[in-house]
Amino acid sequence: MIPVLTALDLPPTSYLPPVKRLVSGDVDPSAILSALDYLYTLYRPEVHGSRRRRQIRQAGPEAELDALEAIRADDFERTYTLRWLTSLIGLAEEEGSIPTPARTPATSPSLTSVLIERAASLLAICAGTASAGTLTRAFTFSSPGGDVSIQLTDIPLINADYTSVGAQTWGGACVLSDLIAERPDAFGLGLNGGGCQGNEGGRSLRVLELGAGTGLVSLTVGKLLELQLPAQQKDYAAELVATDFHPSVLANLGANIDANFSSSSPSSSASVRSCFLDWAAFNTDSTSTLGHEPFDVAFGADIIYEAEHARWIKGCLARLLRRSDPRRPESKAQAPTFHLVIPLRSTHKFESSTVELHFRWDGTARGADHTIEDELVILSKETIVCDAVGGGGRPGRDDADEVVYVYYRIGWES
């Protein structure tokens, strides 16, 4: 999921072009950019709690992980990197301009400004994640149809405003995206045998993400559908709507969508757009910007951190999630479903428990708070354990250094 270095055995002292070659101008600009990419891959912090334990065991020899961790933990290598970056910034500012490749569009920013910006960001990252401010990450997920690659930008929280937490990429979104990519059929996205047939009757497949944040889940679904749709009938279309509440989060979400889905490619059958949605104030007017057709499948990751969230979300889904049609037999994967992944944080135990407070289990007796004739219920629950990468422990070796998630499948009562 996180990019791996092409040569784990090469530390910065061996990989980076020597400073004296930078001074003499004996380094091609593309080589400098490659060096910065290398440093991003090496020192860019992973999303906390985003590695499923099973993936660690399948990723390859443990020695490779140990080698990478050893380089990251080496103070000498980090100090060398800081000096190298400082020298690069100084040279770029002193020269005022570095030759830009001939095929670079005239409207692109100068290579000098790009190098300075990226090097400064790396300096902040090496000083600690909290200092990094705006941070760009690349995610790669393996799927049956090929790898899915996403580039995301996280932005700083607005004056510690908790409602802007969606400006950051959280582990739950990584876990859910990985699950979806691994088995798209199980999420109603497999178009070959068992997926959601949203195009029947001329209707598009409609996908909703609640509390989309940086948009990782929606973008992963969009990329997956792009891999599959070209081989399908030309009249098949998929519409993905990524929703959030905070203005700065929505602005960043829109930028991430633009960065991954070019508006200049109208031939794609999968479209992704962002949309404002306030769960607390949801009403009939709220659906006008979301479209009038119901959604075939919905996703949510790391979105239960207040006591009222589960109740609000249930109210939204009751209006937005498509209801099963008894005249149209559907498989388990085809049935309209809300897929929810939440972490079991010790600081939010009560908030996490509200999911099962407001969504009863399918097949259980109705309580006083569950009187709706056709109701959304919990269909299944799965526990997922991830290594808390970036903590003090070593991946996969300390049970205390882990993050536990719960994955709920929620749908209409059978």
Q: What are the sequence ranges of the domains in the chain? A: 12-131, 135-412
How far is Cα 12 from Cα 220, in angstroms, rounded to an integer?
A: 32
Amino acid at 224: L
- Residue 227 reports pLDDT greater than 50: yes
Of 245-254, 289-298, 400-409, the poorest mean pLDDT is in 400-409
Tell me the C-alpha distance between 92 and 81, whole Å.
Answer: 16
Average pLDDT value over all residues in the chain:
78
Query: What is the pLDDT, as a whole number, of residue 109?
Result: 55
Quick one: pLDDT at residue 164? 58
Write the CB contacts of 28 (distance below 8 Å, at least 6 apart in sequence).
none
Q: What share of the chain is helix, strand, coil (3-state, %, to 5)?
A: 40, 20, 40
How far, in Å, CA of 81 to CA of 40, rounded?
11
Q: Higher-confidence residue: 55 or 24?
A: 24
Q: What is the pLDDT of residues 268-317, one digit of tens each?
A: 678 999 999 999 988 766 667 888 889 999 999 999 988 899 999 999 99
Considering only 80-94, 110-124, 181-195, 395-409, which range has the smallest mean pLDDT? 395-409
Tokens of 176: 């859910």
Tell which residue, 142, 238, 240, 233, has the closest CA to residue 196. 238
pLDDT tens for 347-381 read 677 888 999 999 999 888 766 555 556 799 999 99
Whether the per-residue pLDDT at 214 is higher than 70: the answer is yes
Nearest of 54, 5, 66 to residue 394 by alpha carbon: 66
Per residue in 136-183, pLDDT tens? 888 999 999 899 999 999 887 665 455 556 678 888 999 999 999 999
Among 62-66, 74-78, 155-159, which is the least confidently predicted range? 62-66
Residue 25 has pLDDT above 70, yes or no: yes
User: What predicted TM-score, i.e. pTM, was given to this entire model?
Assistant: 0.71
Alpha-carbon distance 198 to 181, whole Å? 19
- Most confident range (mean pLDDT) of 32-46, 128-142, 223-237, 287-301 is 287-301
Q: Which of 231, 211, 219, 232 is nearest to 262 (CA)?
A: 219
Q: What is the dihedral of CA 371, 381, 239, 157, to 10 degrees?
A: 100
Section 19-43 average pLDDT:
82
**Cβ atoms of residues 116 and 93 within 8 Å:** yes
Residue 343: helix, strand or coil by DSSP? strand
270: nearest Cα among 230, 242, 298, 321: 230
Residue 331: pLDDT band (50, 70, 90) is confident
CATH number of 135-412: 3.40.50.150
